[in-house]
Each structure stands twice: as C-alpha cells, then as structure tokens.
Structure 1
Amino acid sequence: MASPQDFDSPRLVAEEFVGDNAAAVSVSELSSRLKRMVEGEFGHVRLKGEISGYKRAASGHVYLCLKDDSAVIDAVMWRGSAGALPFVPQDGIEVVATGKLTTYPGRSKYQIVVERMELAGEGALMALLEKRKAMLAAEGLFDPARKQPLPYLPRVIGVVTSPTGAVIRDILHRLADRFPTQVLVWPVAVQGEAAAGQVAAAIRGFDAIDGAGVVPRPDLVIVARGGGSIEDLWAFNEEAVVRAVADCSIPIISAVGHETDTSLSDFAADVRAPTPTAAAEMAVPVRADLIDQIAALKLRSDRSIRRHHQRGAERLAAMVRLLPRRDAILGPQRQRLDDLAGRLGRGLERRITQARRDVDRAGAALRPAILRQRLSAARDRLAGVSRLLDAAHPDKPLDRGYAWVAARTSGKVVGTAAAARAAGAVTLHFRDGAIDARVERGGGRAYAAAKPDQPDLF
C-alpha cells in the first residue's frame, strides 16, 4: 500500500494508501448521492420563468426549459400533470411552476419535475391570449369570408351552456317572450379544467346530428356564459373550443361574458352577442312584430289587388267606348246576306225553268215508233250472237258423236297422239259422260285401253 507522501505523485495505477479518506466511488453512487441531496434540500420549489423549447412527447409527457435573464433550468411534466393543465403552454409565456428538484443521472444534470403550472399574472395570460389569437388568425379561422348568415326564423335552437346558471333561464325567457321556439340544451361546465373539452364536444355533437332520428338538427347554436374574469372565461379561449366553433357547419352565436368581455370564440363565431340575452334577441324576431308586419303586408296586397282590378275595369271601359257599335260592324254583312239570299232564290227559279224546258224538248223527241224500230234491231243482233255462241260451244260436236280427250293428271286438253302418249292416262269426254282410259304404245301407234270394268273402245 502506498504511503501518504506518494499521494500527489503521478501514478500509472490507482492505489489506496494509509490514512486516505477519499476512497473512489462509482459514478452511479455519486449520482445517487447527489440525487438524494438535491431532492432532500429542494423537495418543494416554485420557479418563475419563461417557457422555452416546449415539446410534448408521444407518451404525453411534456419537456421544456424555464429561463430568466441569466439562467436556464430543464423541466419535465409527466402525462398526468400535463393533462390537468388549464391552458396549453407555449414558448415565450411566463409561468410559475411548482414541483420538486431532482437529477437525471443519464445526462448528469438537474431538472425540476413540475406538478402544477400557472401563468405568472394576468399579463402573462394576456400575452398567451394574443399569441394564440395571432396564430389562429393566421390560419384564417377569423376570416369574415367564413361567416355564415343567421337563419331568419330557426325552428330549433341548440344552446351550449351550464344547465343550472342564470344564463339558460335568461335565454329561454327571452325566446319565449319574442318567439317561442324549440330549444335543445347541451349541458356543459363553463369554467374549470374540464370546461374547454365539454364545450368543444357539445358544439361538435350538435353539428353531428343529421336530423333523421328523434333529435332534430338545430338551425342555430348559441354558445353562452355569464360574465367573469379572464381566468373564468379562459375555457372559451382554448384552441379546442375555437376550432370547434370555426368548423361548425351550423351558424353560431357566441355570447360569452358581458359587453366588455371578449374571447377567441367570439372571433371564430358567425356572430358575437354582447350578452346571452342579446344572443336570444338576435336568434329570433319578435312574434308580435312579425304578425303586425304580415298584417300590414296583407293590407297592402289587398289594396294593390283592388287598385289593379279598378284600373283594369277603367281601361276596359275606355276600350269599349273606342270600339264601334255592333250594328255598324254587322250592318253591311247583313245587307249582303239579304242580297245573296234574294239572288239565290231567283237563280233557283231560273234554273228550274230551264231544266223543265230541256225535259220538254227531250220528251218531244222520244216517239214510240222510233223506240220500237230500235228494239227490233237490238233483238235481231242478240239472236245472231246467241246462235254464234251456240255453234262455238265446245260440247256441240259431242252431239254428232265426237269426243274430246284430256290428260287425267292435269286436266288439259290432249290434241295429238304424242301428247296422249306423254300423258299416259287420259279422260274421254262424251256427250253423256266421261271415261278414264290408258294409252298403250305399240307399232308406233297409240291405243287407248279403257278401265277393266269398261268395254274396249277400240
């Protein structure tokens, strides 16, 4: 073992010597000792600083730095604590972080494990608000071109608000006074850590109703809350609520706080109302005024119709006065009709007289002697034609013992022996009947043989 005198002498291999009270320790042991000392000394601290390098990991844990003018300290916030934050941290925002100081041996550094984080006063809150407003405005969420007109007379109105506060009572009372309308209330918390998520979910829930089921789809949505401090109204400045308002396809009236209160949801909504009661007044017209207006319009319409009829009657009377009288229009036609009727009677009389004269002349020319001479000549011509027809009749020679031959199959007259041989079977027609015969070929001559039950003709 080395002596104490050798303590400051350079050595190749580390050795322990008598009286040495600084024994070598491992890095892990030193890190553990430092960790215990730091955590024991700074078990609970509150740090005020500006957020820098904010990052949310996929696990849900949050990593960031807190800094001031001359120093920086790392910070980590586990998922459970990060999920309970009432706002979304951003770089450049001054906060007060509450937690405990610890070390991270893996990187030989110390850090604060943040359990709670709050904005460092109203100034920091306003800075965060302005920064978020600029970011959302840059995305076009506040663009006037996105605004939708409100329906003139909505049949169903959806209201997103607390079911127990005075706001919903004021809205329902005002709607009942002006124009009774069906109202659907989506109850939400309007203040606290859960408020932003509930309000955003309610807005998207109303927008998701298709109207095909029992619950009707609202024609208008009112997002309302009473007045309060900027901290009380902060849920309506959260990004989730603002995006839900901007994305809603149903026209939205934002009525958050009193006249002097302004939230980011007001900029994203289609219309901002100074108070929840004013939102109800914007939503529907006054029923009595509407009835009076309709009655006035009906009166004007009736007067207009009467004036129209009166003026039409006056114009018709003026036109009637300008038209000629009926007798003046029809007089010449009546006279012409009488003239034509008279001429027609006289013309018929003349025509009948002329016809009678023609009949008398024709009757005088028809003498009985001439008719009898013509009838006698016609009878002689008819008798001559009859004799000629009788002599030319094809059956006349049959009376003198002749016969005519026809082919049995076709019925055509056979005039030569060759035709008879070609036909084979023939029919012989006599004056008193017909006989079927068969032509036999022999010696160049054709013989007609009668049927077996008939006598041989040759």
Structure 2
Amino acid sequence: MSDRTPGNLHEYSVSELSGAVKRTIEDAFGLVRVKGELGRCTRAASGHMYLDLKDDKSVISGVMWKGNAARLSINPEQGMEVVATGRMSTFPGQSRYQLIIDSLEPAGVGALMALFEERKKKLGAEGLFAPERKKPLPFLPEVIGVVTSPSGAVIRDILHRLRERFPRHVIVWPTLVQGRGAEEKIAEAIRGFNALSPDGDVPRPDVLIVARGGGSLEDLWCFNEEVVARAAAASEIPLISAVGHETDTTLIDFVSDKRAPTPTAAAEFAVPVRSELLSELLNKERRFTGAVERLFETRRSALLSAARGLGRPEDILGAATQRLDRASDGLRSGLRGRLDTALTSLARTSGRLTPNLLAHGFATRENKIATLWSRVADRTDRIIVDRRSRLAASARVLAAVSYQNVLDRGFALVRGADGALIRRAGDAASGAGGEIQFADGVRAIRFDGDVSRDSAEGSPQKTAKKSENKSQKSGPGPRQPRLFD
C-alpha cells in the first residue's frame, strides 16, 4: 500500500494546472522545426494565419501572428509540404497545445516545383499558353510601361538599353517584386496600365515589360502565383516578361506575349536599334536613287537612238518652209491687188451718187415702213375686238351659272356656324347656330326641333302647305330656323 494518500497531494486550481502545463511545454519545446503537410489553412480578418501540420498519423495545430505572416515569401496552400520553425505552447481556453510559427518555408525545392507543375498544368488546360492568343509586339512603340521595383538595378538596365537603341517615353509602375503581397501589387500594376485611357493625361503604353532580377525559386515565387499569370493573360496591351535570368522560368513567362531571358533583352525586344534603322534607310535611299538614275539613263539612250533614226529636223522641214514662204509672198501681193480693185470700184460708185438719188431711196423706204405699220395696227385692232367678244361671252355664261341668279329667284343658302353649306336638315344639330344668305344679305339663325321625315316628300309648295297646316293644328313644326338680327 502506498504511503501517499490523496490527502497529502497538492491541490491545483484549473488555471494553476494549465499554467504549469504551459510552462512545461514551452520550456521543453522552446524552439522546434516541424516538417509536415499543410492541412487546413485560413487567414483571419486580423491578419493572423491558422493552419494544421499533419502526416499520416498525427495533426498539430499552428498559428502564425500577422507580423510573421506578412513576411512570407510564399502563399501557403493546402497540400504543400513545408518546414515550420517556432515554439510549442498551449491554449488554455480549449485545453489544447499548438505550434506558434515564426517562419514557414517549403520543404525543399521539390515541393515548390511540384506546385509549379500543378499550376502550369491547370493554366495550360485553360488555354492560357496557346500560341494563337499571343499578341504581336508593336514595331516602334511610342510609350513603354515597366512594372518593376523602382530602386533595383533592373529599371536602370532597361532605361540604359532603351537610350542606346531607340529612346522612347517610359512609364514606371513601382511595385514589390518579392515577398508577401508582391503578387497582388504586380497584378494591380498590369491591370492599372490596361485601364489607362489612350487620350488621358497619362498616356496608355503600347507595350508592357514585367521585369525582375535573378534570385532563388522562393524569391521569384510571386511570379508563379495565379493572380499574376491571369492578369498577364488578360492584358490587352502586348506584354513582355523578363523575370530572373535565362535559366529561370515562371508562370508569367508562359502566358506573356513574349519572354525575354533578361530585363536587358526585354528592352531589346521592345524597340529596334535606331542606328541600324537609319543605316537601312540610307541604304534603301541609295538603292532607290541608283535605280532611278539607271532608269533615266536607259530612257535617255533609247531616246538618242530613236532620234538618230528620225534624221535631221531641218532636212524634213526645209521644203515645207520654202513652200510656206512662197505662199506668204503670194498672199501679200494678192491682198494688195484685191484692195486696189475694191478702192477703184468704190470710187466709180461714189461718183454716181447724187442728192436726188439718195432722197428717192429714202422716200421709198419710208413708204414701205408706213405700209407695214398700218398692217400691224389693223391686226392689233382685230385681235382686241375678238378678245373682248370672248370675254363678254364668258361673262354671260358665268352669270347664267352663278348661284346669285338662284338667290334672285327666291332661294337662299343655309350655312353652319363654321360657314360650311348645310344641304340636308339632318346635317344641322338642334340648338346649333348658323346663317341664311338671301339675294340682298345674310341673317343669323338657330336650329330648333327635330327633323321631319315628311319634309323631303313632294314639291316645295306641298311641303310648305303641310307645314302650315301642321303648325295651325299642333303649333310650330320641328327644327324651324329662327332668324336673328
């Protein structure tokens, strides 16, 4: 039987025992490195990261405070094999132990390469690496956008190479290119360049360069994140990737429109060599000038050969010139003789003209004019008489068909208030106003009563008689117009 009885044991409170266990675990495991596979991996709104490390038999809960989580060079994902460095502690509120992680890194390059191959296969299956979706680079861009760190040697190398080859306007979007959060900044820069308006204050680049210097796989890992690869694939501006050295390969290299082995090579892809362009231009100018000169010389030789076959112009035109001179001399003498003959005939004719002869000629002409004028006057009078007769006949016809004659015979025109003719009793509404036009004037009226169906039967005299008899028996008839002054 044991000498120790329950009454001799020290009694702990719950908090004392939890604290003792906590101190014991922290003293025994103050610094540990644990290798395992990531299970549950979540990031709280506070920035802390909670995850599980597991193997085929056990699971250890872990927590990384937000300060350490922000410095991670990789984005922890479920299934990634990692090595966590930290210390063991307990969480008394739930009576469980946990690993407080100070640093987290992939368990060797093989784990990152496996993740890289998995993402590469996924994006390739979506068609983001297809050659037909890659855009050609502009031959000579006006504006070049560069996404890189503003303080590194990369931007200086790019600017130096551009100045050497062909100076262009460069816009730098400064961003992180390593560490936690760098992938979001890089993707934001690519999307930001694409969102610029071509006519805005900041010009929209014609080509983009995403560049970073060399480094380890972990240093370049932000360019293997999906958010960066998808932003590069969605870029409407042609994009050149220049990440690391020639042997380094990242996911952005596969989705970009052009991969450059180095940032300096990216600048060489972006613009041609200005001196080479000028040399080529001068060479083409010399070739063009030489071709034109040779063409002119060929045409000149052909023209000289044709000219020798035609003979001398003076030999061809000599005889024609002589004939022209002879004809000119004959024309001059012929005109002179013709003028002399005309002057002689005029002199003979003027000698026979006398005042009596002229007066007789004028009198004859005046008699003819008077006769013609008399004929014109007679013809005009006959036309006027004929037109007056036609006008009078038309006036008689117009008077015969005029409604004024009908009014003179005792009839009248009935019009409504709008001046329109009322031809039937049913066309006038009861109580409506109107007017009656007599031969000598117009009187206003108003329609009363209903339409009488018998009014349309028989002659006007019978209708008037029936209306008079009916009025004597039963008072005024239907719809009798009342006259108003």
Contact 2:191–2:235 (CA<8 Å) still a contact in 1?
Answer: yes
How far apart in 2 are the matches of 1:24 and 1:139? Answer: 65
**1:126 corresponds to 2:113:** yes
Distance 2:139 2:5 in 1: 98
Of 19-28 and 148-157, deviating more is: 19-28
Separation in 2, partners of 1:157, 1:19: 83
Distance 1:249 1:106, change over 3 A: same
State the 1:297 CA deviation.
6.3
- Aligned partners of 1:234, 1:103: CA distance in 2, in Å? 33
- 1:188 has 2:172 as partner: no
Residue of structure 2 in register with 1:207 after alignment: 194
**Shift of residue 158, structure 1, vs aligned partner:** 1.1
Contact 1:96 1:119 in 2 (8 A): yes
Name the CA shift for 1:53/1:301 in 2 (closer, same or farther; >3 Å): farther
Q: Matches of 1:96 and 1:18 in 2, distance apart?
A: 47
Within the alignment, does 1:231 sit opposite 2:229 as a pair?
no
Structure 2 stretches lacking a partner, 5+ long: 307-403, 405-485
Mapped to 1, the partners of 2:123 and 2:278 lie a distance apart of 43
Which shows bigger deviation, 182-191 or 260-269?
182-191
Residue of structure 1 in register with 2:70 after alignment:
83
> CA-to-partner distance for each residue in 1:98-140, whole Å, 9 max, x for gaps?
2222223454332212232122222233233333333444444
Gaps of 5+ in 1: 8-16, 318-409, 411-458
* Aligned residue in 1 for 2:50: 63
1:216 aligns with 2:207: no
User: Which of 271, 286, 290 is the matching residue for 2:273?
Assistant: 286
2:95 aligns to what? 108
For 1:37, which of 24, 27, 30 is the aligned residue? 24
What are the residue-to-residue correspondences of 1:130-145 with 2, within 5 Å? 130-145=117-132
Partner-residue secondary structure (3-state), 1:20: helix
Computing the radius of gyration from Cα coordinates, the structure with the larger value is: 1
| Corresponding residue number in structure 2 for 1:255 | 242
Q: How does 1:406-417 map to 2 (within 5 A)?
A: none
CA deviation digits over 1:190-219, x for unaligned, max 9?
A: 344464444333323322322433321110
Residues of 2 paired with 1:127 and 1:179: CA distance? Answer: 42
Whether the 8 Å contact between 2:74 and 2:179 is mirrored in structure 1 is no
| Structure 2 partner of 1:72 | 59
1:157 & 1:55 partners in 2: Cα distance? 39
Q: For the residues of structure 2 that align with 1:288 and 1:208, how far apart are their CA atoms?
A: 34
Q: Which residue of 2 aligns with 1:157?
A: 144
| Offset of residue 262 of structure 1 | 0.8
2: CA distance, partners of 1:18 / 1:52: 46
Match for residue 47 of structure 1 among 27, 34, 45: 34
Deviates more, 1:98-107 or 1:86-95: 98-107
Summarize the Cα distance change of 1:66–1:130 in structure 2 as closer, same or farther, 3 Å threshold.
same
Q: Deviations over 1:147-186 (max 9, x none)?
A: 2221122110112223344433332233233322211223
Cα RMSD between the aligned structures?
Answer: 3.8
TM-score normalised by length of structure 2: 0.53
Is 1:21 matched with 2:3? no
The number of residues matched between the two structures is 301
Whole-Å separation in 2 of the counterparts to 1:209 and 1:143: 26
1:203 is matched by which residue type in structure 2?
I
Tell me the SS of whatever aligns to 1:254: strand
Counterpart of 2:146 in 1: which secondary structure? strand
Q: Secondary structure at the match of 2:7?
A: coil
Q: Judge conservation of contact 1:90–1:128 (CA < 8 Å) in 2.
A: no
Determine the structure 2 residue equivalent to 1:177.
164
The offset of 1:26, in angstroms, is 6.2
Identity over the aligned pairs, expressed in percent?
59
Task: Give the counterpart letter for 2:97 in structure 1.
Answer: Y
Amino acid at match of 2:21: L
Deviations, residues 375-424 of structure 1 (Å, cap 9, x unaligned): xxxxxxxxxxxxxxxxxxxxxxxxxxxxxxxxxxx9xxxxxxxxxxxxxx
8 A contact 2:70–2:181 mirrored in 1 = no
How far apart, CA to CA, are the structure 1 residues paired with 2:158 and 2:70? 33
Q: Secondary structure at the match of 2:25?
A: helix
Match 1:266 to one of 253, 266, 281: 253
Residue 46 of structure 1 aligns to a residue in which SS? strand
Task: Specify whether residues 305 and 104 from structure 1 end up closer, same or farther in structure 2 by C-alpha distance, changes over 3 A only.
Answer: farther
TM-score normalised by length of structure 1: 0.56
Quote the offset at 1:27 in angstroms.
5.4
Task: Give CA-to-partner distance per residue, 1:246-300, whole Å, 9 cap, x none.
Answer: 2322111001122111111111211101122221221122334444555666766
Relative to structure 1, the CA distance from residue 103 to residue 158 in structure 2 (aligned partners, 3 Å threshold; closer, same or farther) is: same
Letter in 2 for 1:150: L
Task: Kindly state the Cα deviation for residue 47 of structure 1 after the two structures are TM-superposed.
Answer: 1.4
More helix per residue: 2
